[in-house]
Structure 1
């Protein structure tokens, strides 16, 4: 399809959708937004597969029920939406009022009935997506206040959301798996998690082209998904090599959102 044909098809689609439809700004981070939206749909699919009576059962996060994970993901979308909205409107909207308020909100959310938690996740995800779509090109270069009060670039919020929804879909222990992650997500997670975990090992993803290993230390081989699962503290299945002693442990959720 030629460029002009693609442009014509895009214009025709927008005409059919009408003047009320929202679109991302031309300079929005398209790849990160796509990963966040696909991850939201993936989390929703896993969530929809959980019966209500399973919400009170343990998740894969130590000490966290599935209900608490769902509440965390829902309130995380609201928090990131506040960051984006603060840039869009100029209002001073902190990501969280305080650590105490955030903890109290999460405790309350974890106690909500399943129907309320499903609605929380769905409505919060839509709200965040609307904030992204309403942001101008200039807005994408702005910064709001992160959890600790330090500046948080709006352009970083789609990637933070992508990390959260994909990994926590696995934590629901309802059929989500790292092997389902798209290749571009796995590659970025592999690089980031290796740096964050601080594991002294030469990582060798067997399903990726390029150098046989990256990093220094004993060689650890496996598919990219298996390496990501290990580096995020979610298991060490199907890995080979001299696994280092400083194995990552499963962390509590990152609070980018």
Structure 2
């Protein structure tokens, strides 16, 4: 892994679309009762995950609106409100959650299609209060749908995700975690396992140091 950028804007748009398709198929394969069962994220059911991914689409839609109109529109009112909304979503009827997810995903895709090349260069502020260009929004969405498709616990693993996406993901997480080459030297294994380890998800690496959940 290197610090060299391993993704383009077109990559991110493609991954966001592919990840949404994968997540949608995973959700569609679940029976209503199965949505109430635990996900692979500690303390979250599959309903928590579905509500979170739906709310994320709406929140990223706010950033798209900001880039499109120039009028500031933050992702969430506050971190507390975001967390409260996820907990509330977990109590909603399954079909209502599915409809919300499908609507929000479709609206986000349509909103991204509207932006001009110039608008993608506008600055926005993420939920972590980081200033970024709007062209990073598709990448932010791709991470959510791909990783949380794994978190649903329906048999999808990091090995099912695109290799080029995994390379970009691993490079980003390594940088954000501040892991040095020395710290990574003894972490050897297939890319999907390394990416899963970096993301703090279950993996098959031997003797890799424990990392907390990321994303």
TM over 0.5: yes
**CA distance 1:197–1:149, change in 2 (3 Å):** closer
Q: How does 1:154-173 map to 2 (within 5 A)?
A: 154-173=134-153
Displacement of 1:225 in angstroms is: 0.5
1:248 lines up with 2:211 in the alignment: yes
How many residue pairs end up in the alignment? 207
**CA distance 1:148–1:182, change in 2 (3 Å):** closer
| Cα deviation digits, residues 133-175 of structure 1 (max 9, x gap) | 1001110100223225553321111111111110000100012
Q: Which of residues 147, 157, 163 in structure 2 aligns to 1:183?
A: 163
Q: Which of residues 213, 220, 224 in structure 1 aligns to 2:187?
A: 220
Larger Rg: 1
Q: Which of residues 189, 198, 206 in structure 2 aligns to 1:231?
A: 198
Instruction: Check whether the contact 1:94–1:149 (CA below 8 A) recurs between aligned residues.
Output: no
**CA distance 1:52–1:31, change in 2 (3 Å):** same
1:128 lines up with 2:108 in the alignment: yes
Instruction: State the secondary structure of the residue aligned to 2:188.
Output: strand
Structure with the larger helix share: 2
The TM-score normalised by the length of structure 1 is 0.75
Unpaired segments of 5 or more residues in structure 2?
1-7
The alignment's C-alpha RMSD in Å is 1.8
Q: Relative CO higher for 1 or 2, CA cutoff 8 Å, sep ≥ 6?
A: 2
Give runs of ≥4 in structure 1 deviating > 4 Å: none
Q: Which of residues 10, 29, 42 in structure 2 aligns to 1:30?
A: 10
Q: How does 1:1-257 map to 2 (within 5 A)?
A: 29-199=9-179, 215-217=181-183, 218-237=185-204, 239-240=205-206, 243-244=207-208, 246-251=209-214, 254=215
Whole-Å Cα distance in 2 between the matches of residues 180 and 148 of structure 1?
29
Displacement of 1:193 in angstroms is: 2.1
Unpaired segments of 5 or more residues in structure 1?
1-27, 201-214
